[in-house]
Amino acid sequence: MAALTPGSTGLRRALVPLGYPCPVPSDLLLEVQGLSKAYDGVHALEGVGLQIRPGEVHGLVGENGAGKSTLIKILAGNVVPDSGSVGMAGAGLNLGSVQASLDAGISVIYQELVAFLDLDAVENVFVGREIRRFGIILDRARMRERTSQVFQRLGVGVPLNVPLCDLSVAQRQLVAIARALETECRLLVMDEPTASLSNREVEVLLATVERLKTEGVSVLYVSHRLDEIVRICDSVTVLRDGRVVETMPASSVTRERLIVSMVGRQIAAQSQSAANAPGTVVLEVRGLGRDGAFEDVSFSVRAGEIVGLGGLVGAGRTEVARAIFGLDRIDSGQVLVGGRDVTNRGVLAAVASGVALVPEDRQHEGLVLPLSVKDNLLMAARERLARRGWIQRRAERTKGDELSTRLMVKAASLDVPVRSLSGGNQQKVVIGKWLAMAPRALIMDEPTRGVDVGAKEEVHSLVTRLAAEGAAVLLVSSDLPELLELSDRILVMCEGRVSGELARGEASEEALMALAVHREERAVS
Amino acid sequence: MKKLPARELGVGLVLFVLVLAVQLANPAFLRPENVRDLLIQCAPFAIMACGMTFVIILGEIDISVGSMAGLLAAALGTWASPSHGGRPLLDCVFGVLFLGLALGLVNGLLVVFARVPSIVATLGMLTVLRGVTELVLHGEWVTDLPPFIRQLGIGVSGGVPNPVLVALLVVAVSITLASLTPWGRRVYAIGSNPEAAKVRGLPVKQVKLAAFALMGLLTGVAVLVSAPQLSVVESGYGTGWELFVVTCVVVGGVSITGGRGSLWGVLLGVALLSIIRTALIFLRLGDQASYWERAIQGVLILTAVLGDRVSARRRAEVGA
């Protein structure tokens, strides 16, 4: 199976007998064996095994990109694995079919709630498997009754006749759980169920999970909130880089132990070249807030300094970057560039004051894929090179050559569409686009995501060189080693707030993760 | 009604004020025979608006219906007229319905399987079908519609004009379909959140295909009761209907991005736009009436869509 080249999903699908029956010991509800899945040759999962007993709450933790979502999608039938098998209650699960997973009793509640906001609770619970009279007419009364029975079972009250858009996020979550229970689910997979809930709502949800457990429903509880994991799970599996690091019983689990296990590598923070003598403050952010995204974010970046912005996906890092660049409205606070206030002045003002953003999604936000490498490189500098509004082709070519040499862009020529380049080289073009205008402050959001190792090194040295040349760099990255290696200091965000700052000497993956994961007010021991 | 139907109330209010104003300006307006004419006039649009409602709630659109109506009318004319086909009633009726269904299916296939955005696919069909209509009629008029065909449009059954009777039937079936059947609720679900519909394993393709087919079928029904109202069939029949029908639906409160709206609102929309059309005549504007009609239609559709965007933004902020 492994010999097949990546990308031939269709072929693989046809050849490999997925979901062949595998014997499951009778005391297990779910048994996952040897599950592997690669995207474009990069392993998201590699030989993952997982066992869940009936009535067990099983925690699943891991860093960003550890493979949690891929595992969930495979269980739900939305993604077909390259190899491996899943056994459910003694029978092999037919992988890659949403219906088969539902029939086997697996229900998934996704992080981004996939609810129908224009429909009410009853309809959300039953759409797709409606109860009918005479074959075609909906039996609303019975559906309503059964929905309210489920809510009673859960011990919660949710309005049944109101469209979901008028309910709170927590209530929508309860509707999703009700739907799962109504499908006679035996394994409920919850992906970051408490991410957008208030403390009180979290209590209701955790109580609901406890109740499910007493009814014999198993729960796979995926969360970054380690305190919750420690509190409600019977056992915990830690994923790292697509592999299972360990599965441990709850009795031996502590928050600290989990962090060490998630991070794994015991790399001491290597202080390479001593920080450049910091220059004047170029970029300053004071008490920045955007409703529902982040609040009270303050920091400053000096010329020649690389400041890392760490945290988990969803902590609000990208949102801060976008707000500074003028893409999103700022509700409170100020953004100063070189002492000038550019708060809410828009992208053009940000660019004019010397701010550049290398966005998270380079293909959609950073490049115009069908245009040539040269056109993309010169996009931000075109007006500067133009004379009386006319494009100067010779000057553009010289500038384009200069940039691509400096960036070591590997392309057949400057005229090929940027789409034909590899991910790493595309990223160099995105950076080069801004070099043409000599930015004073460079914001980079996940600059090496999906970039191969060699190109990654080149991007790293480029960032260091730009800082050495006097640019203020704000580096958003989920890649911890990268963050530790490049940053002079690291700000860590958690749930929309800056939860701490680490100087180069004191930064380590453990320290970073400890700041990044949610900590409950009450100490749990 | 589960929620306070603010949109329906708004449209209803505008409708009421309008009727009152026109009545004051010209007391002939609400005379029974005029009301009857009005109902007959808006019947085909009510029928088509029902189909369009499902398509738009799904987040799609069908702007080919004007030309589709033209081709179906031409087909009806040539099949029925003694100088062309001279076929019997049932052949003509089922022929038109079947052809409408088939054309709707073609739209659906283009959107669902060829993945052409519906506005582009049906824009193409708008042009193609008009061309085919002109080919079929060779630029001539069909002038000899037999009486049994004309009866469909001008006849009366049990005191109710046939077009109105058929429209009532279609509306009743559509409302049942929308609120009492799984298919109808799935239409809302898919339009509300297409991604979630896929994740939940709803049969998105089948539902969309069926909605486009239904739109075609109902266009056929509309043509059967409207074309025979006139004594001739010409190749320009139905021109501009697509805009009128889409306007009715959107003004009636159906979100152009899908997911929300009710047939009750759409019916009010049909009434409002039909009355505006007639009112302009009653206000004795003469030739200017049709210019005004287009301008007002345009303003209405913009207002409706703007209102929709504003409320969507508010919802997004509340939901976040």
| Residues A438-469 pLDDT 10s | 889 999 998 887 676 667 778 888 888 888 88
Count of domains forming chain A: 2
CATH of the domain at A334: 3.40.50.300
C-alpha B193/C-alpha B204 separation (Å) is 11
Residues 6+ apart with CB under 8 A from B178: B53, B54, B184, B187, B188, B262, B263
DSSP sequence for A360-412: S-IIIII--TTSBHHHHHTTTTHHHH-BTTB--HHHHHHHHHHHHHHHT---S
- Whole-number average pLDDT of chain A: 83
Per residue, the 3-state secondary structure of A143-164, as one string, reads HHHHHHHHHHHHCCCCCCCCEH
The two structure tokens encoding residue A523: 């100490």
Whether the per-residue pLDDT at B52 is higher than 90: the answer is yes
Residue B242 has pLDDT above 80, yes or no: yes
Q: Report which residue type is found at A373.
A: V
Beta strands in chain B (DSSP E): 156-157, 160-161
Among residues A207, A233, A263, the one where a domain terminates is: A263
Predicted local distance difference test score (pLDDT) of residue B129: 96
Cβ <8 Å between B185 and A136: no
Partner A contacted by B4 (CB < 8 A): no
What percent of chain B has a predicted confidence (pLDDT) above 70?
A: 96
- Angle of helix B118-137 relative to helix B89-112, nearest 10 degrees, comes to 150
A426-437 tens-digit pLDDT: 888 888 888 877
Residue A84 lies in a domain: yes
For testing contact with chain A, the best of B4, B183, B200 (most A CBs within 10 A): B200
Q: At which of A237, A263, A289 does a domain end?
A: A263
In the block, tokens 């990069």 appear at A42
Structure tokens at B173: 């079936």
Task: Specify the higher pLDDT residue, A254 or B80.
Answer: B80
Contact B204, B194 (CB under 8 A): yes
CB A172, CB A193: distance < 8 Å: no
A364 shares its domain with A500: yes
Residue B250: pLDDT band (50, 70, 90) is very high
Residues A325 and A213 in one domain: no
Q: If you measure CA to CA, which chain B residue comes closest to A124?
A: B189
Domain stop point among A232, A263, A294: A263
**Inter-chain CB proximity B259 and A115 less than 8 Å:** no
Asked if A117 lies within 8 A of B259 by C-beta distance, the reply is yes
Give the three-state DSSP class for B140. coil
A296 and A434: one domain?
yes
Find the range with the poorest average confidence among A8-22, A477-491, B210-224.
Answer: A8-22
Q: Indicate whether A89 and A225 sit together in one domain.
A: yes
Overall average pLDDT of the B139-162 stretch: 91
Residue-number span of the structural domain to which A312 is assigned: 281-516
| pLDDT tier, B5 (very low <50, low <70, confident <90, very high otherwise) | low
Q: Which is more confident, A14 or A331? A: A331
Interfacial B residues in 170-199 facing A (CB < 8 Å): 180-183, 185-186, 188-189, 191-193, 195-197, 199
Statement to judge: residues A164 and A247 lie in one domain: yes
**Element of type H or E holding A334:** strand A332-337
Residues A321 and A229 in one domain: no
How far from the centroid of its chain's Cα atoms is residue B27's Cα? 30
- Number of CB pairs < 8 Å for A and B? 76
Question: B253 is written with which tokens?
Answer: 């409160």
Q: Find chain A residues with C-beta within 8 A of B193's C-beta.
A: 114-117
pLDDT at position A17 over 80:
no
Question: What Cα–Cα distance (Å) separates residue B77 from each residue in A261, B22, B26, B233, B239?
Answer: 78, 37, 37, 6, 17
In this structure, are A213 and A303 located in the same domain? no
Name which residue leads in pLDDT, B1 or B34. Answer: B34
Q: Is the pLDDT of residue A25 over 60?
A: no
One domain, residues A25 and A118: yes
Q: What is the pLDDT of residues A282-293, one digit of tens each?
A: 999 999 999 888
Pairing of strands A332-337, A281-290: antiparallel
Residue A203 lies in a domain: yes
- The answer to whether residue A424 sits within a structural domain is yes
B315 inside 8 A of chain A by CB: yes
Does residue A240 sit in the same domain as residue A350? no
**Mean pLDDT computed over B250-271:** 92
Residue A224 scores a pLDDT above 70: yes
Q: What is the rounded distance in angstroms from the CA atom of residue B225 to the CA atom of residue B150?
A: 9
Dump pLDDT digits (tens) for A26-54.
588 999 999 999 876 677 889 999 999 99
Q: Does B257 touch chain A (CB under 8 A)?
A: no
Instruction: With respect to residue A269, please indicate whether it lies within any of the assigned structural domains.
Output: no
Alpha-carbon span B65 to B129, nearest angstrom: 9
* A18 and A94 housed in the same domain: yes
Residue A265 has pLDDT above 80, yes or no: no
- Let me know whether A305 and A206 are in one domain: no
ipTM surpasses 0.85 = no
Q: Which residues of B touch A130 (CB under 8 A)?
A: 182, 185
**Other Cβ atoms closer than 10 A to A157:** 11
Same domain, A337 and A456: yes
CA distances for A137 relative to A417, A487, B47, B176, B188, angstroms:
55, 63, 22, 9, 16
In this predicted structure, what is the pLDDT of residue B252?
92
- Which pLDDT score is estimated for A6? 42
Residue A441 CB neighbour total at 10 angstroms: 23
Angle between helices A423-435 and A453-468 (to 10 degrees): 10
Within-domain flag for A3:
no
If we measure between CA atoms, which residue out of A315, A296, A237, A221 comes closest to residue A516? Answer: A315
| A74-107 residue pLDDT tens | 999 888 999 999 999 888 888 888 888 888 999 8
Pick from B148, B161, B149, B214: which is nearest to B42 by CA? B161
